[in-house]
Amino acid sequence: MAVFDYEQVSKLAPAVAREQRDRSPCSACSVRGMTICAPLDSQELTQISAIMSSVELGAGAPLFDEGEQAGNVFNVTSGTIKVYKLLPDGRRQVTGFLFPGDFLGLARQETYAFSAEAVTLSLLCRFPRHKLEALMQRLPKIEQRLLSIASNELVAAQEQMLLLGRKTAREKTASFLLMLSKRSRQRGQAGDPVTVPMSRTDIGDYLGLTTETVSRTFTQLKQEGTIKLLPNHQVSLARRDVLEEIAGGF
């Protein structure tokens, strides 16, 4: 009942479900090696944890909306977040999925350029932007780390543009599964039976396709024996080599 209760809360009181100002949880952080905290020593970790608070979001709970005052930046520590933009008539483009270790909220402007929402139950570290900026003055390592993160995201964004502009539905889908698998491995999890926590609609909005086309393409790949659809949002990349061939250089 307790769990259920709080999921209710996360839906009703949007943005932030539960938060606490932990003293120094960073030392036990399982994804520290991949976040902005990676280059910091234990003394510096204390400094950054002093300005940090943690946030828990239930599945479907919004983190922030496009156009909102950009007061915080975040680090995902568990769960999956989706980031998207909308057209006035409701058409949606998911510009990215974020997993543990990923950074979120880099926006040099005053407002967020996109919306963010939890796909599954998620935990994040939250840093007030002005405090982080003040800290950056003293710890330039953080700034360097942010630049490095931004550069990597830029490379990924260009790859995604290639996918959206020039790949077929089949190629997009294969690329997507390989991307999930690669990122799963990067954070030390299994690369083969890969977890696909997001809905067909979310996948479609990420790949520039409709749910129906995504579903059909999955079925097609399954019937060829290239992938296997398992229970609990798991997909086995039975023939990774074929998938890579279809994806076309990813």
Can you give the binding site for its own copies, defined by CB under 8 A? 85, 87-89, 91-93, 95, 106-109, 113-114, 140, 143-144, 146-148, 150-155, 157-162, 164-167, 205, 207-208, 248-249
Interface residues for DNA in 209-228 (CB under 7 A)?
Answer: 209-216, 218-219
CB of 104 to DNA, least distance (A): 23
Q: Which does 241 bind (CB under 5 to 8 A by kind): its own copies, DNA, none?
A: none
CB of 96 to its own copies, least distance (A): 8
List the one residue out of 114, 104, 118 whose CA is nearest residue 68.
114
CB of 51 to DNA, least distance (A): 36
Q: For residue 107, how far is the Cα from the chain centroid?
A: 16
Nearer to DNA, 42 or 232 (CB): 232
- The answer to whether 11 and 57 are in contact (CB under 8 A) is no
Q: Which does 212 bind (CB under 5 to 8 A by kind): its own copies, DNA, none?
A: DNA
Nearer to its own copies, 13 or 157 (CB): 157
Q: Which helix (H) or strand (E) holds 98?
A: strand 92-98
Compute the half-sphere exposure of residue 51: CA atoms within 13 Å on the CB side of its CA: 18
Look up residue 177 and give its two tokens: 């599964």
Look up residue 216 and give its two tokens: 């059909």
Number of continuous H segments (helices) and E segments (strands) in the chain? 8, 12
Burial of 28 (0-12, 13-18, 19+ CB in 10 A): exposed
Q: Which does 190 bind (CB under 5 to 8 A by kind): its own copies, DNA, none?
A: none
CB of 143 to its own copies, least distance (A): 6
- The answer to whether 114 and 162 are in contact (CB under 8 A) is no
Which range of residues in 9-17, 61-69, 126-134, 166-174 is near DNA by CB under 7 A? 166-174
List the one residue out of 141, 126, 143 whose CA is nearest residue 56.
126
CB of 229 to its own copies, least distance (A): 24
Which residues, at least 6 apart from 232, have a Cβ–Cβ distance to it below 8 Å? 195
Nearer to its own copies, 162 or 230 (CB): 162
Give the contact letters, 173-212, x = binds to DNA (CB under 7 A), - = no.
--------------------------xxx------xxxxx
Distance in angstroms (rounded) separating the CA atoms of residues 177 and 205:
15
Q: Which does 158 bind (CB under 5 to 8 A by kind): its own copies, DNA, none?
A: its own copies
Residues that bind DNA (CB under 7 A): 168-170, 199-201, 208-216, 218-219, 229
